[in-house]
Amino acid sequence: MTGASREAFDRRVDSALGDPVLQEVISSGQDYMQALQEQAKAELDWPAWLDAVEAVRSHTIAHLDFYAAQFADNVERLGGRVCFAADAAEAREYVAALVKRKGAKLVVKSKSMVSEEIGLNRALEEAGAEVVETDLGELIVQLAGERPFHIVAPAAHKSLAQIRDLFSTMAGEELAADAGVLTTFARHVLREKFLTADIGISGCNFGVAATGTVVLVTNEGNGRMTTTLPQTHVVVMGVERLVPDLQSLEPILAVLPWAGAGERITAYVTAITGPRRPGDGDGPEELHVVLVDNGRSSILGSKYEKILHCIRCGACLDACPVYRKIGGHAYDCAYPGPIGAVLSPLLDGLERHPELPFASSLCGACSEVCSARIPLADYLLELRADAVAAGGGSASWTAGFRGFAEATRRPRAWALGERVAKVALRPFERHGSVRWGPGLLGLWTRSRDFPPWARRSFRELWRSRRPSGS
Amino acid sequence: MNRAAFLARLRRPPGADQRGVPVAPRPRVQRPPLGDAQRLSLFAARLKALGVVVEESATLDAARLAVERLCDARGWARIACAPSLRWPGIRDRWVEDARDAQFGLSAAACGVAGTGTVVLRHGGAARRGYSLLPPVTGFFVYRPDIVDSLGDVLRTLAAETTALPPCITFVSGPSNTADIAGVRCVGVHGPGEVFVWVIACGE
Amino acid sequence: MSVRASLMVTCLGDALFPRVGVAAVRVLEALGVRVDFPRAQTCCGQPAFNSGYRDDARRAARAYLRAFAGSEHVVSISGSCAAMVRDKYPALFEGRPEAHEARALAARTFELSEFLVDVLRVDDLPVTRHARATLHHSCHTRRTLGVVEQPERLLGMVEGLQYVPLPRAQDCCGFGGTFAVTMPVISTAMVDEKVDHILGTGADLVVGLDMSCLMNIEGRLRRRGSALEVRHLAEVLAQGWAR
């Protein structure tokens, strides 16, 4: 875990920790969300609902081939087109080709994490279209040229003043630093975009296999705009985002809004079943669904399969004490936080994100709050084991743990090691503690005192107390 | 990638033969059913908590009158709704196109007490835009159409034998966001104000 | 017939905090437990396990299985080490000859406060300590072992002790084993917030169930110039025990 990747990671961490405004924004956001989630747990039989979510998700993933086929059949039967994208490139190419074929000048997007994962915006811009994010959070990070900071609240890190500046640049005039004023400005600008866009691209919270329905869970209404006004609607979704049927949505809709936004239900849940039909007064003429694999099928059947159960609620980010310090950008991937620390190495390869599995104290807060009961902390441990098995461990750690393991089997050698360490540490002890030390110890003492080695170890004390031993 | 190859990769274990039709699990979290009065009061309470103005009307005509009074009070001249929902009282104010309407009115298929939700079935003349494009929107909900939970709606929809409408929208309160520095603002893209008239008797 | 228990002193406890082991033995013996100390014990293997070195962790764990083979109960002064044995050993040896032994050891291993409350059914203690005390619930104790109330109940039995709950008690102190030195900057930021909350309670004593977390917290307190007393629960009970 050294080299350029680690250095870049450390720089991102330092930049987050060095920003007191950001620190305050992240922790107050977490405090707020956690309080609301506690309210949910008081109101609902939370464990029972999580059991239900888990039952639906594990069943769907176990039969994903069936449900993907059924979903695709139904979308096509209703007059939609389905693209089966094996990887990011195939998904980008399909949508870019559509943009070119339609001669589309303007594409409006509602929130889609998969589009961030596959780098869709750039491909569409290269195909000649202006791409406008319409979720306010996504718009803010688009204007700032950044990645989403949080999977539910993409601009959670931006202060009012920063957003005012971004919107003022867009407006060409100075706007007031008032959330209401800025929201109204965005409404007017984006309304124009919705009315003139050629293509609307949305994500998909859940696809209902039995009916071919695309379900969007949103608050702002941009999801409805994107899927109502432009003549062509493109859905970009991970292939695992399916449920068997409408009833299966019940537990998910009970849990997701609480876990993700701290509310009973979002302002809008939209269920789209096919394109506009003859006689319909509005709605898109064309519907395209891009089912994205991009590494998901290789997770199926592996020890990491439950990561595909994720419902993207973001509760793990709101609970994580590491995220609380380093924020979403330190992860440098489409999916930040604990879910991203597991999912990104699985989708992009461990070599692309070597530090992510190690950027955790393994406290288990993520596993504890997960709406889909994904053992995130255990998965981080598995990824660490995979990294070591793939030869990713440093030579000194590898040798160190080899020696450690040998010593654990030899209590006398272990005790001797303790005595050696005691003697070695002594020169660094001052007034009953160690304030500076070399090597690994130095990484500790940089910010913390280290306790003095005991004059006599417990095993030595025990022997003198009971000469016969036990 | 072609469809067959794509789906084959999703088989578990990959490449195995396709199995029979799976039976979806039906996990149910039991909640005691609500009584009629309880259901209505919860529906109203949830809506109010979301910032929705709720009024009870004895009849459809009473609800229409309430709409007229609201439109007069606000000075609205352009009201969008499906032709079947219109009435003569304010005939000069109806508009087809919701884009420049000041108010949009829709008939809800049902209401959900537990979440303060109105359920809209779009398609045909029941446009999506009526509840989306104007700055203020309103809904007529018949009291017998109010159910306890979203699960009740989903189960009813699943039992329908004909295809679902092209769009069903579950509306719970005004369009809102907290994306700007965590401050809750309403009326982001959709309506910032929502009215619900609960009509006591069926048509 | 008296209860027998083997003390799991842990590698850190043995070398750095033998006083905690001594205190635990005193408390257990005062409650009538026959305590032994299997001298073949060294380390449970968690550092290797958490760093991804599964084979090395398994070798350490195998030595632990042997060390505690004859124990009736195993009582650990570290919730995290107890959690390693209880939660990770069975999986570590799944499908191996030691699988049964690993499950059996997991079943008879306890964290100290858990052992006192759940096994010994302690509901009254002859302990006095005049202090305003807060408690750090260590993550593995809380989440993996599910031990949350037990230490609070024990502190509630201490005469003269005023218990002040710690705000954001659920948050990790930032120790995380090797995390403290592989990600020292993040770890320090985490322990800083923990220390802020501790100081904010106005407590004059911080009690914990795991010396690794307490070493982290105390190390940061001292570096920040605070002399606030930091103690393992066993020490609080042993020191205040009526003689």
pLDDT at B18: 60
B-chain residues near A276 (CB < 8 A): 166
pLDDT above 90 (res C175): yes
pLDDT in tens, A90-133: 999 999 999 999 999 999 999 999 999 999 999 999 999 999 99
Q: Best residue in C34, C185, C213, C231 to probe A by mutation, most A CBs within 10 Å?
A: C185
User: Among candidates B106, B132, B137, B130, which has minimal Cα distance to B119?
Assistant: B106
> Where residue C1 falls among pLDDT bands split at 50, 70, 90?
low
Distance from CA of A380 to the nearest CA of B (A): 23
Q: Dihedral of CA A299/A303/A309/A313: which sign? A: negative
From the list A64, A137, A213, which residue is nearest B164 (CB)? Answer: A213
pLDDT tens digits, A311-339: 999 999 999 999 999 999 999 999 999 99
Query: What are the E-state strand segments in B63-124?
Result: 79-81, 94-95, 103-107, 110-112, 117-122
Chain A touching partners, 3 or more CB pairs below 8 A: B, C
State which residue of chain A sits closest to B24, comparing Cα positions: A244
pLDDT digits (tens, 9 = 90+) for C144-166: 999 999 999 999 999 999 999 99
Alpha helices in C119-232 (DSSP H): 139, 149-156, 179-182, 184-200, 211-223
CATH number at residue B190: 3.40.50.10420
H helical segments located in chain B = 3-8, 36-49, 60-74, 150-159
ipTM of this predicted complex?
0.96
Q: Which residues does chain B have with pLDDT short of 50?
A: none
Q: Are B188 and A186 in contact (CB under 8 A)?
A: yes
Percent of chain A with pLDDT over 90: 93
Residue A2 confidence class, pLDDT cut points 50, 70, 90: low
Per-residue pLDDT band at A467 (split at 50, 70, 90): low
Q: Are C143 and A367 in contact (CB < 8 Å)?
A: yes
> Residue C194's CB: how many other CB atoms inside 10 A?
25
Residue A285: pLDDT band (50, 70, 90) is very high
Cβ <8 Å between A440 and C181: yes
- Chains B and C touching, counted as 3 or more CB pairs less than 8 Å apart: no
Dist CA B137 CA B192 (whole Å): 8
Do B and A count as touching (3 or more CB pairs closer than 8 A)? yes
Name the token pair of A379.
């998965």
Residue A423: burial class (beta carbons within 10 Å; 0-12, 13-18, 19+): exposed
Instruction: Give the CA radius of gyration of chain B.
Output: 21
Helix axes C18-30, A458-465, angle to 10 degrees: 50
Contact C48 A389 (CB under 8 A): no
What kind of architecture, by CATH, is found in domain C124-240? 3-Layer(aba) Sandwich (3.40)
Chain A residues within an 8 Å CB radius of B117? 265, 269
Domain ranges of chain A: 8-297, 396-465
Chain A touched by C64 (CB under 8 Å): yes
Q: Is residue B13 part of a domain?
A: no
Query: C45 and A363: CB-CB below 8 Å?
Result: no
Pairwise CB contact (< 8 Å): B7 & A65: yes
Q: Does A5 lie at the interface with C, CB-CB under 8 angstroms?
A: no
Asked if residues B115 and B46 have their Cβ atoms less than 8 Å apart, the reply is yes
* The two three-digit tokens of residue C165, written as one number: 């709950």
In a domain, B6, yes or no: no
A 77-136 residues inside an 8 A Cβ radius of B: 78, 82, 84-86, 90, 134-136
Query: pLDDT tier at A470 (50, 70, 90 boundaries)?
Result: very low
Q: What is the mean pLDDT of residues A277-288?
A: 97
The beta-carbon neighbor of C184 closest among A324, A446, A460 is A446
**Chain C residues with CB inside 8 Å of A416's CB?**
none
Window A:271-310, CB contacts with C under 8 Å? none
How far B85 CA lies from chain A's nearest CA (Å)?
15
Q: Is residue B15 part of a domain?
A: no
Q: A323 to chain C, minimum CA–CA distance in Å?
A: 10
In whole angstroms, give the CA distance from residue A145 to residue A123.
15
CATH level 2 (architecture), domain A8-297: 3-Layer(aba) Sandwich (3.40)
For residue C82, give the 3-state DSSP assignment: helix
Pairing of strands A268-273, A213-218: antiparallel
Provide the mean pLDDT of chain C: 97
State the best of C20, C56, C71 to mutate against chain A, taking most chain A CBs within 10 Å: C56
Q: What SS3 class is residue B41?
A: helix
Say if the Cβ atoms of C48 and A453 lie within 8 Å: no
Of A384, A387, A411, the CB nearest to C42: A411
Rounded mean pLDDT of C40-55?
A: 97
Q: Do B29 and A182 touch (CB under 8 A)?
A: no
Q: Which residue of C has its CA nearest to A398?
A: C53
Q: Cα–Cα distance between B3 and A458 in angstroms, integer? A: 66
Q: Measuring CA to CA, how many Å separate C76 from each of A394, B14, C12, C43, C211?
A: 31, 44, 12, 12, 11
Q: Look at residue B17 in the predicted model and tell me its pLDDT.
A: 61
* Per-residue buried b or exposed e for A165-185, using 16+ beta carbons within 10 Å of the residue's own CB: bbbbeeeeeebebebeebbbb
Q: What angle do CA A159, A160, A164 make, to 5 degrees?
A: 120
The pLDDT assigned to B201 comes to 80
Q: Provide the CB-side half-sphere exposure for A236 (13 A, CA).
A: 31
Residue of A nearest to B168 (CA): A271
Task: Count interface pairs A-C at CB distance under 8 A.
Answer: 201
Cβ separation C52–A387 shorter than 8 A: yes
User: Rounded to an integer, what distance in angstroms lies between the CA atom of residue A376 and that of residue A307?
Assistant: 8
The answer to whether residue A354 neighbours chain B at the CB level (below 8 Å) is no
| A398-452 per-position pLDDT tens digit | 999 999 999 999 999 999 999 999 999 999 999 889 999 998 999 999 999 999 9
How many residues does this entry show for chain A?
Answer: 470
Q: What is the pLDDT of residues C178-202, one digit of tens each?
A: 999 999 999 999 999 999 999 999 9
Q: Which residues of C touch A447 (CB under 8 A)?
A: 184, 188, 191, 220, 223
Which tokens belong to B27?
């996990």
Under an 8 A CB cutoff, do A271 and B8 touch?
no
Q: pLDDT value at position A171?
A: 94
Q: How confident is the prediction for chain A on average, in pLDDT?
A: 95
Cis amide bond preceding A451, omega within 30: no
- On whether any CB of chain C is under 8 Å from the CB of A19, the answer is no
Residue from the list B22, B124, B180 with its beta carbon closest to the beta carbon of A183: B180
* Backbone angles phi and psi of A151, in degrees to 5: -75, -25
Radius of gyration of chain A (CA): 26
Interface of C with A in 210-229 (CB under 8 A): 215-216, 218-220, 222-223
Domain of residue B95: give its range: 35-199
Contact call for C39 and A368, based on CB within 8 A: no
Rounded to a whole number of angstroms, the distance from the CA of A385 to the nearest CA of chain C is 4
In chain B, residues with a C-beta closer than 8 Å to the C-beta of A66 are 18-19, 21-22
3-state secondary structure at position B111: strand
Q: Tell me if C179 and A360 make a contact (CB, 8 A cut-off).
A: yes
The one-character DSSP state at C84 is: I
Question: What local confidence, expressed as pLDDT, does residue A392 receive?
Answer: 85
Question: Chain B residues with CB inside 8 Å of A89's CB?
Answer: none
What CA–CA distance (Å, rounded) separates A224 from B137? 15
Determine, for residues A386 and C52 on separate chains, whether the beta-carbon distance falls below 8 Å.
yes
Please report all neighbours of B, defined by 3+ CB atom pairs within 8 A: A
Q: How high is the pLDDT of residue C221? A: 98
Residues 84-123 of C with CB under 8 A from A: none
What would the two tokens of residue A245 be?
């049927």
Pairwise CA distance, residues B94 & B87, whole Å: 9
**Is the CB of residue A63 less than 8 Å away from at least one CB of chain B?**
yes
Contacts of B18 in chain A (CB under 8 A): 65-66
C-alpha gyration radius of chain C: 17
Residue A469 pLDDT: 44
Distance of CA A179 to the CA centre of its chain: 26
Beta-carbon separation of C42 and A414 below 8 A: yes
CB A80 within 8 A of CB A104: no
- DSSP strand pairing (A206-208 vs A106-109): unpaired
Q: How many angstroms separate the CA of residue C30 from the nearest CA in chain A? A: 16
A277 and B CB contact within 8 Å: yes
Inside any domain, residue B144: yes
Alpha carbon distance B146, B178 (integer Å): 29
Q: Mean pLDDT throughout A361-366?
A: 97
pLDDT score, position A432 = 86
Task: Pick the residue from chain A with its C-alpha nearest to B81.
Answer: A281
Annotate A395-408 with DSSP letters as a single string: HHHHHHHHHHHHHH
β-strand A268-273 against B167-171: which pairing, if any?
Answer: antiparallel
Amino acid C242 reads: A
Asked if A422's CB is within 8 angstroms of C15's CB, the reply is yes
Distance from CA of B176 to the nearest CA of A (A): 5
User: C171 CB near a chain A CB, below 8 Å?
Assistant: yes
Nearest CB to C18 within list A392, A449, A456 = A456
CA–CA separation, A152 and B177 (whole Å): 11
